[in-house]
Amino acid sequence: MIEVSGVAKAFGRLEVLKDVDWQVGRGEFWGLIGPNGSGKTTLLNLISGVEQPDVGSIALGGHSLAAYSRKELSRKVAVLQQDGLPSVAFTVREVVEMGRFAHQDWRGKESGGAEAGRRLIDGIMDRLDLKELEHRPLHVLSGGQRQRVALGKVMAQQPELVLLDEPTTYLDLRYQMQFMELVAEWRREAGLTVVSVMHDLNLAALFCSHLLVMSGGRIVDQGEPEDILSPELVAAVFGVQAHQVIHPDADVPQLLLRRERL
């Protein structure tokens, strides 16, 4: 699905990515982890086409990103930033409907017909429990509600690849789990490929099928959570001491942080 070959990126004299080689298979759920400034978001921006690599190439579905027009790319790739949506006066339904832009012609007409588009939006609103909120302006919603609306907009886009940049940063525990469960369920049903920048290592291990560990603009390790997530890795990459336990339900590693002074 994604092929990153020999990619490097710099902003001025600051090298952000160095010699990155990475492949993502269709239907996989990758979590990008690493300390701040390790290049995770820049890599996401390169895959989305927002930024261009200085060196190397990125292919999507066997074709170079440069071969796609912006509208063609928006039918394949959807991006959700950590702050979701700005606090604007559009209603919830209007914002979700904006996700259909990639599937409309120059007159704003749905390629599959207006009725099919309405049914799709209705289904998304029901699934995300947004029906009761559909006429409310976005600026009166809580952070968790706005993030659900942002997910609804992305779902309406019907992409093949979803890129998430720290999507749970501003959410409390309940909404973090709810959001990740919704993404995981959508991925299973639609056969989506998902790549998400994650700061919570335990949440990443619970939901991601694979992890890409980055530090200093380079890939440190990659693989399934149970194979690579360890106290040794956390110490080497984050400079933090931790204990590892196995989750009793999911059978994946979870980390308990150690205090330096008790």
Are 40 and 47 in contact, with CB atoms under 8 Å apart?
no
Q: How many domains does the chain have?
A: 1
Q: How far is CA 127 from CA 19, 77, 135, in A?
A: 41, 21, 17
Domain annotation covers residue 143: no
Domain annotation covers residue 29: yes
Domain annotation covers residue 100: no
Q: What is the pLDDT of residues 181-235, one digit of tens each?
A: 999 999 999 999 999 999 999 999 999 999 999 999 999 999 999 999 999 999 9
Residue type, 120: L
**What is the pLDDT at residue 196?**
97
Domain annotation covers residue 202: yes
In which element (H, E) is residue 233 found?
helix 231-238
**What is the pLDDT at residue 147?**
87
Are 250 and 206 in contact, with CB atoms under 8 Å apart?
yes
Domain annotation covers residue 64: yes
CATH number at residue 182: 3.40.50.300
Domain annotation covers residue 103: no
CB contact set of 138 (below 8 Å; sequence gap of 6+): 85, 86, 87, 88, 89, 90, 91, 92, 95, 146, 149
Q: What is the pLDDT of residues 41-73, one digit of tens each?
A: 999 999 999 999 999 999 999 999 989 988 889
Are 33 and 222 in contact, with CB atoms under 8 Å apart?
no
Domain annotation covers residue 144: no
Please give the residue range of the domain that contains residue 13: 2-86+157-257
Domain annotation covers residue 253: yes
Q: How confident is the model at residue 170 (pLDDT cuts 50, 70, 90)?
A: confident
Q: Does 106 score more than 90 pLDDT? A: no
Helix axes 173-190, 143-156, angle to 10 degrees: 10
Q: How far is CA 150 from CA 168, 224, 257, in A?
A: 12, 28, 32
